[in-house]
């Protein structure tokens, strides 16, 4: 197992995207990720899941983390490893995401009566990706790290 990890790290390749905090640019991340995932051999439905998850993560970073401030960047790292793709999305916010937001499980019947019909992003990401982790990036800012495994 340890040997596998070492080998995976040696062969890992990282693609970095830096995007302005403006809605619409999540498409750039979606297209880059889908091209990469297709090349890695992910099935079509997994590629679609990845596109939705990365779009939610980037729009969260644009809207909540960077508050639509276009001069702030959203940094997307796509790390290719043997058998998996790791996606991290980092904003430049100095406000961390409240734990209750991360834990929230939206229910559609409650949403009918609530003013806020949104709040599905983080829940969707957790549903779609194999591993999801929220943390503060070493450089500051909120970072979401998602992993999707290549099924055999």
- List interacting residues with other proteins (CB under 8 A): 13-20, 22, 24-25, 27-32, 34-36, 39-41, 70, 78, 80
Q: Which two tokens stand for residue 34?
A: 């889908």
Closest CB to other proteins among 16 and 94? Answer: 16
Work out how close the CB of 125 gets to other proteins at its nearest, in angstroms, rounded to a whole number.
21
Work out how close the CB of 75 gets to other proteins at its nearest, in angstroms, rounded to a whole number.
9
Question: End-to-end CA distance of the chain, in Å?
Answer: 17
Closest CB to other proteins among 82 and 94? Answer: 82
Reported residue count of the chain is: 152
Contact predicate 33/87, CB 8 Å: yes
Which three-class secondary structure state does DSSP give residue 131?
Answer: strand
Work out how close the CB of 119 gets to other proteins at its nearest, in angstroms, rounded to a whole number.
26
Cα gap 37→75, rounded to integer Å: 18
Closest CB to other proteins among 20 and 106? Answer: 20
Name the β-bridge partners of 143: 90, 135
Work out how close the CB of 138 gets to other proteins at its nearest, in angstroms, rounded to a whole number.
18
């Amino acid at each position: 197992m340890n040997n596998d990890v070492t080998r995976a790290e040696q062969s890992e390749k990282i693609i970095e995207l830096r995007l302005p905090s403006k809605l619409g640019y999540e498409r750039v991340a979606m297209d880059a990720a889908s091209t990469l995932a297709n090349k890695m051999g992910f099935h079509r439905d997994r590629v679609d899941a990845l596109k939705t998850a990365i779009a939610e993560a980037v729009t969260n970073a644009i809207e909540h983390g960077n508050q639509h401030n276009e001069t702030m960047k959203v940094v997307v790292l796509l790390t290719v490893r043997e058998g998996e793709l790791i996606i991290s999305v980092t904003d430049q916010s100095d406000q961390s995401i409240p734990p209750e937001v991360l834990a929230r499980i939206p229910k559609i019947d409650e949403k009918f009566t609530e003013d806020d019909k949104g709040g599905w992003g983080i829940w969707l990401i957790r549903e779609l990706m194999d591993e999801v982790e929220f943390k503060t990036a070493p450089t500051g800012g909120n970072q979401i790290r998602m992993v999707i495994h290549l099924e055999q």
